[in-house]
Structure 1
Amino acid sequence: MTGSPTAAPPLRAHSPEVSAAKARRWGAFYYAEQVLRVMKGYGWSIFLYSVGQPAAYLFAMGVGLATLVDTNTTSVFFGGVSYIAFIAPALLISAAVMTAATEFTFPVMDGFRWRRVFYGPHASPLTPEQIAGGQIIAVTCRFLLQSVIYFVIVAMFGASPSGWGWGSVLVATLAGLSFGLPLMAYAASIKEDKGQFAMVMRFIVMPLFLFSGTFFPLDTLPVLVRWIGWISPIWHGTELGRVMTYGYGESPVLTIIHVVFLLGLAWLGWVLTKRQFVRRMGQ
């Protein structure tokens, strides 16, 4: 007499099958958690670099240089606001971009070349896209945290008179991603460190910082260098930040262009990053 087929036993909560299914679904967040735990180990260094340095810049400019500028220049030159209110959004955006230049270069090289930390998770069900996504999620959390702290400092200086000033935190995060994701794709393509990242800092990051309308309106710069601002995530983010923090008057069309530019650059960087991660991990 043939018995009825026995039903398969239910899967245990921590069985390999269940763990693999969770990894396939939430792998990017699992990897982001690991990166954030590593960041926690040098949290004070992150704080001093990401917040302390820009805050010192803000204090020097707001208390030192701003006194001279406001005394000898009419506020109309800076959109009808004080000099510190003018530069505060630029420093907030620049801090995020500087962080992107750090987090999306050497850690990516470390993952592929030096300690090869990307390959361990890849031996699990995590895909290259999830590993890349987890790295991006963790750095995005850093953008948000440092921007919130920095914005509080800006508000304490009275440099954000608008009620929409908090929106500059989101703008800074978007600007950091729009610069960092294409850079991450480039870092993922490098197989030997020959000083490429130092060249990026010297010939890309610093010129963008200096020629993106950070300290003076972009249209006051010579025409020969003004184009640097037009292609710079710092300038597009700074202009949006000024709209948020003190109601900087600009055409709504130009505001839309800023948003589209930053989103488009971030999307392009994500597409290229995924492609490079899959290529480097052999899938």
Structure 2
Amino acid sequence: MSALEPGSAAPTRSGWVSGDVDHAAVAGSARAWGWWYVAEHRIRAMRSYVASWALIGIGSPFLYLMGLGLGLGLLVDANQGSEGVDGVPYLTFLAPALAMATVMQTASQENTYGVFGGFKWFPMFFAMNGTPISAWQIVVGFQVSVLARVVLPLAAFAGVIAVFGIGDGVRALLLLPIGLLLSVAVGFAVMSWVATQTEDRGQLSFIERFVVVPLTLFSGTYFPLETLPLYLQWIGWISPLWHAAELGRVALYGAELAPGMVLVHVLFLVALAAVTCALSIRTFRRRLDR
């Protein structure tokens, strides 16, 4: 009997198993858990650079916080006196925003070349679409894998904050869910645009240069947004980084906000994620069904 005939042995990673392959069950599993299969595929691929990923993810928070804390932070605190910034030492004010800025940068990078490459350079999205996995599962699964990518630097920031007494260690853990929400909002937003690009003419690098960097500078990361002229403050108002940084400051040291602003910050990030997720799914369906 041929190995390809029904009832014959079927190859697996561990050898051969006997019996028919239940194709209906396999298809049903893919329809139910396809998003996780996509995420698992990308997470497994990350193993090829896990050493550098871990080194950067753990080392960057330490270098950023200690470098700024022992340099700019000492200068600011010396000039501000006991009041500090927002009523706390400058490094405590800065830490949540730096954590969120790292999340924004990571989510942006993963959803730029990762999404474009999935269509153009190594068209894995088309291969996935040839299975029962649907477009929405590819989109969602991709973002789940990005969440796995940003968890490490978020945890490292929380650890550095706790170890060096920048803030309360337990409250620092609240930065993780805020950062994950920011990752989803930024990730879907970048994905929704990158998925529309069919050729690389250098425009992919624009996101880092003309979106990520300006938002980092004008989102109240290094100083309160209110210190900017009013004609520049609108950049922060529409920036997901500002909304996440404000939530992070509330979580870490109880920064005072106007009534209802916590809800506004959360709803902004949720709405951005929901709208751009829908746009991403629509674009993926259109490209994959051609």
TM-score, normalising length from structure 2? 0.89
CA distance in structure 2 between the aligned counterparts of 1:175 and 1:134, rounded to whole angstroms: 17
Query: Quick check: 1:132–1:273 contact (8 Å CA) kept in 2?
Result: yes
Aligned residues with identical type, % of pairs: 38
1:42 maps to 2:43: no
Match for residue 153 of structure 2 among 142, 146, 149: 146
**Greater mean alpha carbon deviation, residues 234-243 or residues 144-153:** 144-153
CA distance in structure 2 between the aligned counterparts of 1:121 and 1:128, rounded to whole angstroms: 9
* Higher RCO by CA contacts (8 Å cutoff, separation 6 or greater): 1
SS of 1:43's partner is helix
Report deviation, 1:175.
Answer: 1.2
| Equivalent residue number for residue 131 of structure 1 | 138
Query: Quick check: 2:161–2:168 contact (8 Å CA) kept in 1?
Result: no
Report deviation, 1:74.
Answer: 2.9
1:89-168 aligned within 5 A: 89-161=96-168, 163-168=170-175
| Equivalent residue number for residue 253 of structure 1 | 260
User: Which 4+ runs in 1 deviate beyond 6 A?
Assistant: none
- Count of aligned pairs: 272
Query: Quick check: 1:62–1:84 contact (8 Å CA) kept in 2?
Result: yes
What amino acid is the match of 2:263?
I
Match for residue 221 of structure 2 among 202, 214, 225: 214
CA distance in structure 1 between the aligned counterparts of 2:249 and 2:88, rounded to whole angstroms: 10
Cα separation, partners in 2 of 1:122 and 1:246, compared to 1, 3 Å: same
Cα separation, partners in 2 of 1:120 and 1:66, compared to 1, 3 Å: same
Show CA shifts across 1:100-157 (max 9, x none): 1101110101110111111112111111111111111111122223311221122222
What amino acid is the match of 1:108?
V
Match for residue 266 of structure 1 among 262, 273, 276: 273
What amino acid is the match of 1:130?
Q
CA distance in structure 2 between the aligned counterparts of 1:75 and 1:128, rounded to whole angstroms: 54
1:88 maps to 2:58: no
**Greater mean alpha carbon deviation, residues 247-256 or residues 268-277:** 247-256
Report deviation, 1:14.
Answer: 4.7
Show CA shifts across 1:75-105 (max 9, x none): 4351221111000000000000000110111
Root-mean-square deviation (CA, aligned residues, Å) is 1.6
SS of 2:146's partner is helix
| Equivalent residue number for residue 234 of structure 1 | 241
1:69-80 aligned within 5 A: 69-80=76-87
What amino acid is the match of 2:244?
G
Show CA shifts across 1:26-54 (max 9, x none): 11101111100001211122234444234
Report deviation, 1:58.
Answer: 1.2
TM-score, normalising length from structure 1? 0.91
